[in-house]
Amino acid sequence: MNAECLDIEWARVAPDTVVVATSERVWVYRPSSTDISNFFTQPMSGAGSVATTQKLLDTSIVLAKRAVSSSSRPPALSPTLWVWNLAGQYHLTHCGPQLFEEARERFAAAGRKSLTQWAAHKAIEENGHDRLALLDIQSLGYDAEAVVEALAPPSAKALVDYFTRSVQTTDPIGCVGYAYTMERLALAVGEKHIQAVEAILPPGTRATRCLRVHSSVGSSEVEHVQETIELVAGLSPQERTNVAIACYETALLDFSSSQKDYPSEEELKQILRPLALKGY
């Protein structure tokens, strides 16, 4: 099989998992420990396309979700737990501009023009999103700066740590997969989910601004996903492989951590009580 003549991409995202994508379909190949001669156990070759690259990355994310086998579910949402969630949104968005700028510098130093432009654009796009989370927390009646100082959800910390490592390693290409995964997952958040959150909040509260921006309701996320797909489709086979692996690892981390590490309602109330603003 000659990949140069085919519209096909593949990536080994885990030791036993190879994602194979064409413009028409996608499937998973499970190599055995002795299966070293199969075409799909070899490094990807050939050019990418928007259609095949999107299938490659999206399927990597889906497979990560399937790999997380857990019967545990997040506790029922409450206004107090939403503050915890907003603190996580703050930490995830706060690090973005600085890390994307660092990625831009590293890509520029290596002469990787398209990636340099992408990272520079991302640094600008993400600027100020942490402020939305602070405004949401304040709307719920708390000193927002004090809240994000006191609350650092482990799930958000794990993702920030992964993002940081992906930027600060020898080749920061993994940050492209991280960014794509977080934005692609945000598109699963629709108006129905946002309204469900707003329904449990006090009347008149505006505490879903950050969520709306990072959802399918916010048109920018759709554009960001498409821009990143177009960028990745034009990268080298090894770069596309590394992005797919980062998508899988980011999603695996997100789906694993999103089902645990929640404090109890009483624990949260004890932490937040002294952080309430006067008049609330």
pLDDT over threshold 60, residue 8: yes
Statement to judge: residues 46 and 165 lie in one domain: no
Look up the pTM and report it: 0.93
> Region 209-222: what's the mean pLDDT?
86
Domain membership flag for residue 115:
yes
Q: Chain-centre distance of CA 37, in angstroms?
A: 34
36 & 116 share domain: no
Task: Note whether residue 186 is domain-resident.
Answer: yes
Work out the pLDDT band at 271, boundaries 50, 70, 90. Answer: very high
**Contact residues for 171 (Cβ-Cβ < 8 A; gap 6+):** 242
Same domain, 12 and 103: no
Nearest C-alpha neighbor of 47 from the set 17, 1, 107, 5: 5
Interval 33-53 mean pLDDT: 81
In which band, very low, low, confident or very high, does the pLDDT at 42 lie, cut at 50, 70 and 90?
confident
Which residue range forms the structural domain that includes residue 230? 79-275
Residues 51, 17: one domain?
A: yes
Mean pLDDT of 185-195: 95
pLDDT at 1: 47
Please provide the average confidence, as pLDDT, over all residues in the chain.
91
Helical segments of 110-236, H only: 113-125, 129-139, 144-150, 154-168, 174-186, 191-199, 209-213, 219-233
| The pLDDT value given to residue 5 | 44
Same domain, 220 and 123: yes
Question: Is there a single domain that holds both residue 204 and residue 154?
Answer: yes
Looking at residues 33-47, what average pLDDT do you find?
Answer: 76
Rounded CA gap, 235 and 245, in Å?
14
Work out how many domains the chain is built from and give that number: 2
Residues 236 and 160 in one domain: yes
User: In the chain, what percentage of residues exceed pLDDT 70?
Assistant: 92
Mean pLDDT of 152-161: 94
pLDDT per position as a tens digit, 92-133: 999 999 999 999 999 999 999 999 999 999 999 999 999 999
243 with 171, same domain: the answer is yes
Look at residue 179 and tell me if it is in a domain: yes
Total Cβ atoms within 10 A of residue 94: 19
Asked whether residue 68 is assigned to any structural domain, the reply reads no
Based on its alpha-carbon atoms, the radius of gyration of the chain, rounded to whole angstroms, reads: 20
What SS3 state is found at 77?
A: coil
pLDDT of residue 33: 60
pLDDT confidence bin for 71, thresholds 50/70/90? low
**Token pair of 247 as six digits:** 């998508």
Q: Do residues 129 and 255 share a domain? A: yes
Q: Is residue 34 part of a domain?
A: yes
Residues 136 and 254 in one domain: yes
Domain CATH code at residue 130: 1.20.910.10
User: In which band, very low, low, confident or very high, does the pLDDT at 257 lie, cut at 50, 70 and 90?
Assistant: confident
**177 shares its domain with 235:** yes
pLDDT at 152 over 80: yes
Note whether residue 71 is domain-resident. no
